[in-house]
Amino acid sequence: MFKLPELPYDYSALEPHIDTKTMEIHHSKHHAGYVENLNKALSKYEDLQKLAIEELLKNSNDLPEDIRQTVINNAGGHANHSLFWEILSPKGGGKPTGELAKAIESQFGSFEKFKEEFSTKATTLFGSGWVFLNVCKDKSLEIKRHSFQNSPLLHGKTPIFGLDVWEHAYYLKYQNKRSEYVDAFWNIVNWDKVLQNYEVLT
């Protein structure tokens, strides 16, 4: 059975960048809903219940047809949000360091160019979805948009950093001003955690 992870900070900790009520609803209702629906979909498949979330998504083509799309939707929602909470911090902001900083500079030209490309993809994504920084099989980095709760793991990529641009992630505070939410996001990025995610894969 999958469980809703506890946040490493209080719901109010990311103020003023993400408001308390949004955090509470986002975590305790939206993320909890994905976990509940995933467990329900897997309830009659004991062998699948034993798999890690990454294995479910990486091998989604092998899932029973009657639950495949439900698992993709809800396992993706669980995996995406679990990553999202970890790469946020009330003490975040600044720039990446170490080997990650070097890789971003090499891949994108500079951190500023990376940030601009990522922000543009986030503000211009049509409808609901995510923007991720992925590590590819050849260890290169890519910025990729995904609609709904589709995970990069479905395509053999591993996300180390992501931004939720579903309206439920920002609408209470920012309404239709998604670009303001994206700008605020950079103030709470936990680059130490993103670096750890990168180092594990490289």
Selection from 77, 79, 80, 39 nearest residue 55 by Cα: 79
What are the tens digits of pLDDT across the range 115-166? 999 999 999 999 999 999 999 989 999 999 999 999 999 999 999 999 999 9
Tokens at 82, concatenated: 């679990």
**Contact of 121 with 140, CB cutoff 8 Å:** no
Tokens at 95, concatenated: 């720039």
**Contact of 145 with 121, CB cutoff 8 Å:** yes
pTM of the model as a whole: 0.95
Q: Where in the chain is CATH 3.55.40.20? A: 98-201
* CA–CA gap between residue 88 and residue 86 (Å, rounded): 5
**Contact of 107 with 70, CB cutoff 8 Å:** no
pLDDT on residue 41: 96
**Contact of 164 with 199, CB cutoff 8 Å:** no
pLDDT on residue 202: 85
- What backbone torsions phi and psi does residue 140 show, to the nearest 5 degrees? -75, 165
Q: Tell me the pLDDT of the chain averaged across its residues.
A: 96
Q: Is 134 exposed, middle or buried (0-12, 13-18, 19+ CB in 10 A)?
A: buried
Tokens at 1, concatenated: 């059975």
Q: Where in the chain is CATH 1.10.287.990? A: 20-86
> DSSP of 132-166, one letter per residue?
EEEE-TTS-EEEEEEETT--GGGGT-EEEEEEE-S
What are the tens digits of pLDDT across the range 71-80? 999 999 999 9
Which CATH architecture best describes the domain 20-86?
A: Orthogonal Bundle (1.10)
What are the tens digits of pLDDT across the range 86-123? 999 999 999 999 999 999 999 999 999 999 999 999 99
Q: Is 47 exposed, middle or buried (0-12, 13-18, 19+ CB in 10 A)?
A: exposed
pLDDT on residue 122: 97
pLDDT exceeds 90 at position 1: no
Fold of 98-201: minor pseudopilin epsh fold (3.55.40)
